[in-house]
Structure 1
Amino acid sequence: MGTGLGQLIGHPPLKPLRARIKQALIASSDRTLGRQATQGRIGPDIRYNLAIPGLTGPCLLTRNRVTVSGWVLDLARGCPLPWRARIGGRLLPAEPVERADVAAAFAPLAELPLRCGGTLGTRLRPGPHLLRVEAETQPGRWAPVFRCLVLCLDTDFGTFDPWDISDYPGWREREARVQAADAASQRAYAAMVGFRPSVTAIVEGGAGAARDGTLRSLEAQTFEAWTAILVGPDPSGSGHDVAPNLAAALARATGDYVLPLKAGDRLTPDALYHLAAAAQADPGLDLLYADEEGDTGGSDPLPFFKPAWSPDTLESFDYLGAPALFRASLVRNIPAEAAYDLALRFTETTGRVRHVRKVLCHRPHAFPKPRPEDEAQDFRALMGRLQRTGRAGSVNSIGNGQACYRLDLSLSASPLVSIVIPSAGRNLEVAGRRRDLVVECVRDIRERSTYRNVEIVVVVNPDLAPEKAEALAALGCRTRLYDDPDFNVARKLNLGAERATGEYLLLLNDDVEVIAPDWIERLLAQALKPHVGVVGGKLLYPDGTVQHAGVVTLHGNPNHVRRGFPDADLGYAFSSVAPRNYGAVTGACMMTRTEVYRQVGGYEEAFPIHFNDVDFCFKVRRLGLHIVYEPACRLYHFESASRRPGIHPDELALFQSRWPSETLDDPFYANHAFGTAPPNFEIFMRTPRTPRAGRPRARGPT
C-alpha cells in the first residue's frame, strides 16, 4: 500500500481503526452522512454547492467509489462554470446535467441554462486518496473549490451505503416500476375495503389533447371510484358531465371528495389509491394534497415536494396545487372563480388537512409564470381573502413574473410590543468599525424603525460599563439585572419577559442591525393572526448572504435552511422570498404573544445557550399554533458575537430526549428528497433500503 497514512491504516496494530470508523457510521445518522454537501464562494461572484455522499467533516469515507454532483455558478456573468476533480492520478471533468431547481432559484440574479449542474464519479482502490475539485473561473485558469481526504476502506458500512442515493430521474423510474408491480394488488385492495371514498374530478381547460391526456390518466387509476365533470365544451362527446365554470362544477359534485385538475395534468396510476387510503385512514380529513412534478422545457421534470399544512404559505401562492382532494360537502356552496380561490376559501372553514408525501401528479409546467388573466384571478382571490378575514392592504407580485405574491397590510391595531434584548455589553469589529452592540442595536430600533409603540427591555450583566448604561437610559430603555455568574440566555429572556408589559414580545439579539424600517409591522402582520404562535424574520450576514430563512430539524439536529445563499435567491418554491411555515425559527429575532409565551412557560432554562428557541417553537406548536418565517422583516445579524460558537453535547442530548418524534423528521422539509447536511432544499433523492439479511455488497456503476 505504500508509505504514510495508507501504510498506517493497513498496519495490524491499527486495524481496530476500521472497526471504529464503521461503528461511527452506524451509530450516526446514515441519511445525514449520506447527503453531506459543501458550499461556498470563490471571490464575490462565484458560488458553488457540491453533494458528496459519504463526506463526514474533513474526510470522505467510502468503500470503493467517489461521486460528486452539484454546481458552480458565476453570477456576475450569469453562467455555470466548468468544474472537474483530481483524484487517484486522474482528471475527471464533470458531465453537465439539468438542474431546473437551481435555474429557478437564481432567476433574479442570472438567466441560467437548464444544464447548469454537473456530476462525476470514479472507482478507487483501497487506501487513502486526496480529492481536489477545481472550477474554470477564467479560460484556461482553474481555481481550487474544495479538497478532502478520501478513505476507501473496501468494507460494507452496514446502514450507510452511498449507492442508496440517486438523482430524481433515477428515483422516478424506480417509483414507476414499483407502482406497476403493485397495480394489481392496489386494484384488489380498493375493491374489497369497506369505506371507499368516491371522487369527482373537475377538469378545467379547453378540449383537445391536453384534456384527453388528463382523462386517460383518470381512466388508468387503480382506484376506480371516480367520476368527472368537464369545465367547458365537450365536442368529443366523452360522456362526462359538463359545467360552464368551476363554481357550477363544484355545485354538481356527487362524490365524497372533489379533485380539481387543469387540462394537461396527468395523475400517476396510483394517485387516487394513495389519496383515498389516507382519507380512509382518517375519515375526518377535509383536505388532502400530495406532491407533484412539472415540465421545465428540458428532458427531466422538476418535482415540488410540498410542506405539511402551511396556511401562511398558502397566502403567498397556491402551494397545494395538484392533486388535492376537497371534501365535497364543504365546497358545493363555494363561489370559487379558480383553483387558488377555492383553496383560500375552503381553508377558511377547516384546518383538518393532511399532506401525502408522494409525487402523484405530472403537470405541463413547473411553477409556471402566470398569464395576465391568471395573475388577475390570483390578485382577486387574495384580495377576497383579506376582506373575508377582516384585513386591509394590497397584493403585490414578488417580481420576475412569478405566480407568488406579497400581502402589504395596513395594521388594524398598534399593540404595545415589548422588545427584550439579552446583552453581555460587548463590542465587536464589523466592517472595520468598532460597534457597541447593544447601544447601536437600540439606537437602530429607535431611529430606523417606523413602528413606534414599543418598549425596550435590556437584560444586562453587573459589569455593564457605566457609559453604556447611561446611553441605554437616554434611549428610553428599561434594564433588568442578570447577576448569575453562569451564562444562560434563556434565563435572561425570561427575566426580560417578566419585566415586559406589552401584548407582544419581540425577542432580539443585540448583534443585529435594522435593514427594513417596517420590520416590526411585518412581524406583527403575521403575529396578529389567531392561528400564529411565533414569527421570525430574514437575517443576513454582513456580506448580504442569508443567515436565517427558517429552521428545520432533521435526525435530531436543528439547522438553518439555505444558509450562505444570496439575499435575492428565490429558494425552493419561493422558500426564501415568501412567508412560509416552518417547525421553528431562530430566537435571534422572534415575535410571539406575551400570553402564549407565559402559557408555555417561556424559554426552557435547561438550554442555557443552544436549542432554547427551537424548544420554545415546539412547545408553541403543541398548542396547535403555527410558526411563520416572514422574509420582509430583514435584519443584519453578526452571529454569535457575544459568545464563542459551539454546540454543547449535553444540550443536544437533552433536546433530542425531550422531542424524540419532532426531531426525527421535519414535516416542513422532505428529508427523503432533499439534502440534509446542509438543508438547502437541494434535490438529492434516497431510495428505501433493502433488508440487511442476504443483501448483496453495494456496487456502483462500472
Structure 2
Amino acid sequence: MTSLISRIPRAALAGARALKRHGPGNLLSFGVAMVRRQGIVPTLRYALLPPVDRKLALSSLERRRRLANNELAADEDRFDEKDLDRRFAMPRARWEQRVLAHDRHVAKQETLAGGPRHRKLSLTVVIAQGPADAVSRTLQSLADLPDDALASRPRAWGPTLPPAAPAGVTILSGWSDVLARADGLVVFLQAGDRLLRRWPQTVAAAHARGETEVVSFDMVSLTAEQAAPLFLPGANPLLARHVDYAFSRLAFRADVLAAFAVAPAPYDALRGWMASRGLTDSRSAWRHVFEVVAEIDLDPQRIVDERTRLGERTKASAHPGAQVGVVICTKDKGHLLRQLVRSLDLVANPLISDLVIVSNNTTAPHAKALLDELAGAPKVKVLVRDEPFNFSRFCNAGAKLTDASHLLFLNDDIAPVTEDWLGRLVDDVQEPGVGVAAPLLVYPDERIQHAAMYLGFKGIAGHTLRHARLPDEDYLFYASAPREVSAVTGAAMMVTRACFEALNGFDEQLATYLQDVDLCLRARRSGHAVVFDPRAVLIHMESASMRSDVANSALARRRQLEHNYFIARWGGSLQFDPFHNPAFGIEDESLHSLTQFT
C-alpha cells in the first residue's frame, strides 16, 4: 500500500504532462477506451506505473488487440511483451529499475540471514590498454569499492595506467610486481569497465567455495539508451575451448598465473589453464557468479563476428576404429523412416556398424513393406515388439543387438542437414569424461526445436531458445558453439556404450517421456558430461510418429504416473541448473523474460 501511495504524485505529474501533450479530449478518449477494455482497476494500475512500464504495458495491450483483429502475425513482434527485445536488450531506465529491485531483494535476504556474511577479498586488477579517460573510469570504480569487503585496498597495473591513481588504489610497476604482490584474485578488465560495489563480497562468496582457481561473472553492456545484460551459462570449460564467452573479463587465483613470465591475454591464460586438465577438473576449480557485478562496453559486432567464425565449417576428425550402432524406434511412418535410413548411407558410411529398427505395433501396409525390405539389407536388423508402447524398453532392447562402442538413438522423424553431423557427435563423446552428446535440432521451418535442455521449466526441463531463428535470435553463443549442459533430448542422442551400460540403459519405468532427461541426470551424477553440439544439425518433425496418440486418455494417465515417478527421484535436483543462468525466467524457453525479484 505504501508503495502504491508513493506512486500517486509521480502519476499526477505524468498525467499533467500527458494532458499538455495530447489535449483533454484525446486523453479522455484514451481513458474511456482503457476502462471499457480492461476495467477500472487495471486502468488505475496502468496510470500508477512508472513511464517505462506504462510503455511496455501499452505495447502489450496493442499487440493483443492487433492479434485479435488479425492485423498481426503471431510471430511478428513476439518479444514486445518480454523483458528483453529481439536483440536481448532493454531500455536503460528499465534496467536501472531492475538493479534497484535486485538491491532491495539482496538487502532483504541479508537481513533475514542476520546480516551479510562474506570473506574479505584481496584484489589486484590488470587493465588492458585503452584511452586515458576509459582507464580513469575503471580506476575510479576500484576506488569506490567498499572497504569492509576488502582485505586491503585494490592494486592495479596496466600498460597505459597513469603514475597516480584515485585515492585508495595502489598502482603497481609491472607484471613482475603483480606476481610478487598479488595474494588473492587477479582480475582482468578492459579499459572503461566498471566493477560494481557488490563485486568484492559477491565474488568472495564464490571464491570461498572449494579450491577455486578461476572466477567468471555476469555483466551488462551499457549505452546511453540501452542495457544488454550478459548472462553467461555458468562455468563451462567446453564452451570456453571454442569461444571467449566471458569476453576476457576473468579472475584468477594469483598462483595460477605464476607460470606466465609476461602478462598473458586473459583468454590465453584460461586456455592454458584448461589445457592441463580435463572437463571435470576444470569445472570443479572454476566458479561462476550468477549476478551482474560489472558494467562494460561491448560492441555487439564482436558477438556477430565470433558466431561467423564459429560457423566456418571445419571437418570432423577421422575416427579409425570408432563404431556407431544406430537404434530407431518406429511404428507406421514408413515414408519418414525410408528417408532417414537412406540418409544414413549404411553401406558407404564406415562409422555405422549396424542399424537396429524396433517396430512397435506396425500396421500401415507401406511401413510393413519397408520393414520387410530393410530386414534383408546389409547392416540392418529389425526387431518386432508388438506390445504396449515403452520407448525405454525398446531402446534398451535395440542396444543389446549391437556391439558398437557408441550408441545413437534416433526418432524416425529425423532428417540430417549437415554432412558431418555423425562425425561431430563421435568427436564429442570421444572427449575424456563425456558420456552423452546431442545435435542442434530444427523444425522444418528452420526454427530451433532443441538447443539443449535446461532444468526447472514446468518443474522438469525446457528447450533452450525454442522457436528462435538462427543466427539473429541466438543469445551470445548458446546455439553457436559446443557446450556442456544438464540434459539433451532423446530424439537424437549419442551415448558411449560404457556410459549406457554403467547406467543400465534407459529407465523402463519411464515408458513414454522423461527417459532422456532422466538418463542425462544419472549420467551427470555418475561423472559423465553431457554435451550439446550445434555444429551437428538435423531437422526434427517433433513427435510426428506419436501425434495421433496425444489425445489418448490412457497415455495421459500413464504420463502422469511417470511424471510422479520422475519427480520423486529428481525433484530437489531440478531447482538449479549449473549451465543455465537463473536470471532468465524459468518458464520462458526463448530467454527473453527475466526472473522477478520479490
Is the alpha carbon distance of 1:459 and 1:293 closer, same or farther for their aligned partners in structure 2, counting shifts above 3 Å? same
Number of residue pairs aligned between Structure 1 and Structure 2? 509
Which structure 2 residues correspond to residues 227-626 of structure 1 after superposition, within 5 A?
227-238=154-165, 239-243=170-174, 251-252=179-180, 254-280=182-208, 282-295=209-222, 297-321=223-247, 324-334=250-260, 337-348=264-275, 349=277, 350-351=281-282, 352-365=285-298, 367=300, 369=302, 397-399=306-308, 408=314, 410-427=316-333, 436-446=335-345, 452-461=351-360, 463=362, 467-483=369-385, 485-554=387-456, 555-626=458-529
1 CA distance for matches of 2:137 and 2:482? 35
- 1:134 aligned onto 2:66: yes
Is the alpha carbon distance of 1:545 and 1:201 closer, same or farther for their aligned partners in structure 2, counting shifts above 3 Å? same
Q: Is the 8 A contact 2:586 2:595 kept in 1?
A: no
1:258 Cα deviation (Å)? 1.6
Q: Is the 8 A contact 2:465 2:589 kept in 1?
A: yes
1 CA distance for matches of 2:538 and 2:60? 46
1 CA distance for matches of 2:571 and 2:110? 36
Is the alpha carbon distance of 1:366 and 1:206 closer, same or farther for their aligned partners in structure 2, counting shifts above 3 Å? closer
Q: Which amino acid aligns with 1:174?
A: A
Is the alpha carbon distance of 1:179 and 1:591 closer, same or farther for their aligned partners in structure 2, counting shifts above 3 Å? closer
Match of 1:696 in 2: none
1:438 Cα deviation (Å)? 2.2
Is the alpha carbon distance of 1:178 and 1:544 closer, same or farther for their aligned partners in structure 2, counting shifts above 3 Å? closer
Is the alpha carbon distance of 1:249 and 1:135 closer, same or farther for their aligned partners in structure 2, counting shifts above 3 Å? farther
Q: Is the 8 A contact 1:560 1:679 kept in 2?
A: yes
Q: Is the 8 A contact 2:206 2:288 kept in 1?
A: no
1 CA distance for matches of 2:203 and 2:499? 35
Q: Is the 8 A contact 2:406 2:495 kept in 1?
A: yes
Match of 1:173 in 2: 100
2 CA distance for matches of 1:224 and 1:203? 19
SS in 1 for 2:495: strand
Is the alpha carbon distance of 1:369 and 1:258 closer, same or farther for their aligned partners in structure 2, counting shifts above 3 Å? same
- 1:220 aligned onto 2:144: yes
Q: Is the 8 A contact 1:569 1:576 kept in 2?
A: no
Match of 1:659 in 2: 570
Is the alpha carbon distance of 1:502 and 1:320 closer, same or farther for their aligned partners in structure 2, counting shifts above 3 Å? same
1:625 Cα deviation (Å)? 2.7
Cα deviation 1:538-567 (Å, max 9, x = unaligned)? 112122222111111215222212222224
SS in 1 for 2:205: helix
Q: Which amino acid aligns with 1:369?
A: R
TM-score by length of 2: 0.76
Q: Which amino acid aligns with 2:36?
A: G
Match of 2:127 in 1: 203
TM-score by length of 1: 0.65
1 CA distance for matches of 2:34 and 2:346? 55
Is the alpha carbon distance of 1:249 and 1:485 closer, same or farther for their aligned partners in structure 2, counting shifts above 3 Å? farther
2 CA distance for matches of 1:167 and 1:675? 16
Q: Is the 8 A contact 1:540 1:547 kept in 2?
A: yes
1:451 Cα deviation (Å)? 6.0
1:484 Cα deviation (Å)? 5.4
1:217 Cα deviation (Å)? 1.2
1:342 Cα deviation (Å)? 1.3
Is the alpha carbon distance of 1:527 and 1:253 closer, same or farther for their aligned partners in structure 2, counting shifts above 3 Å? farther
Is the alpha carbon distance of 1:329 and 1:485 closer, same or farther for their aligned partners in structure 2, counting shifts above 3 Å? same
* Runs of 5+ consecutive residues of structure 2 not aligned to the other structure: 1-32, 40-51, 76-92
SS in 2 for 1:218: helix
* Runs of 5+ consecutive residues of structure 1 not aligned to the other structure: 1-85, 93-114, 125-129, 147-165, 376-396, 428-434, 689-702
1 CA distance for matches of 2:312 and 2:407? 24
2 CA distance for matches of 1:664 and 1:370? 30
Deviates more, 1:656-665 or 1:591-600: 656-665
Is the alpha carbon distance of 1:180 and 1:677 closer, same or farther for their aligned partners in structure 2, counting shifts above 3 Å? closer
Q: Is the 8 A contact 2:234 2:581 kept in 1?
A: no
1:298 Cα deviation (Å)? 4.6
SS in 1 for 2:580: coil
SS in 2 for 1:278: helix
Q: Which amino acid aligns with 2:340?
A: C
Q: Is the 8 A contact 1:291 1:359 kept in 2?
A: yes
1:321 Cα deviation (Å)? 4.0
Q: Which amino acid aligns with 1:360?
A: V
Q: Is the 8 A contact 1:421 1:510 kept in 2?
A: no
Deviates more, 1:448-457 or 1:358-367: 448-457
2 CA distance for matches of 1:183 and 1:606? 43
2 CA distance for matches of 1:332 and 1:180? 38
1:360 Cα deviation (Å)? 0.4
Which structure 2 residues correspond to residues 621-636 of structure 1 after superposition, within 5 A?
621-636=524-539
1 CA distance for matches of 2:55 and 2:468? 19
1 CA distance for matches of 2:505 and 2:303? 44
SS in 2 for 1:500: coil
Match of 2:36 in 1: 89
1:500 Cα deviation (Å)? 1.7
1:474 Cα deviation (Å)? 4.8
Is the alpha carbon distance of 1:370 and 1:486 closer, same or farther for their aligned partners in structure 2, counting shifts above 3 Å? closer
SS in 1 for 2:259: coil
1 CA distance for matches of 2:162 and 2:293? 29
Q: Is the 8 A contact 1:307 1:668 kept in 2?
A: yes
- 1:668 aligned onto 2:579: yes
2 CA distance for matches of 1:412 and 1:213? 50
Is the alpha carbon distance of 1:294 and 1:475 closer, same or farther for their aligned partners in structure 2, counting shifts above 3 Å? farther
Flag the structure with higher helix content: 2
Is the alpha carbon distance of 1:235 and 1:398 closer, same or farther for their aligned partners in structure 2, counting shifts above 3 Å? closer
Q: Is the 8 A contact 1:540 1:567 kept in 2?
A: no
Q: Is the 8 A contact 1:514 1:635 kept in 2?
A: yes
SS in 2 for 1:505: strand
Q: Is the 8 A contact 1:552 1:560 kept in 2?
A: yes
1 CA distance for matches of 2:571 and 2:408? 28
Q: Among the aligned pairs, what percent are the same residue?
A: 25
2 CA distance for matches of 1:636 and 1:487? 24
1:301 Cα deviation (Å)? 1.6
1:604 Cα deviation (Å)? 0.7
2 CA distance for matches of 1:406 and 1:503? 30
Match of 2:596 in 1: 686
Is the alpha carbon distance of 1:592 and 1:269 closer, same or farther for their aligned partners in structure 2, counting shifts above 3 Å? same
Q: Which amino acid aligns with 2:533?
A: E
SS in 1 for 2:590: coil
1:684 Cα deviation (Å)? 2.5
SS in 2 for 1:264: coil
1:318 Cα deviation (Å)? 1.8
SS in 1 for 2:575: coil
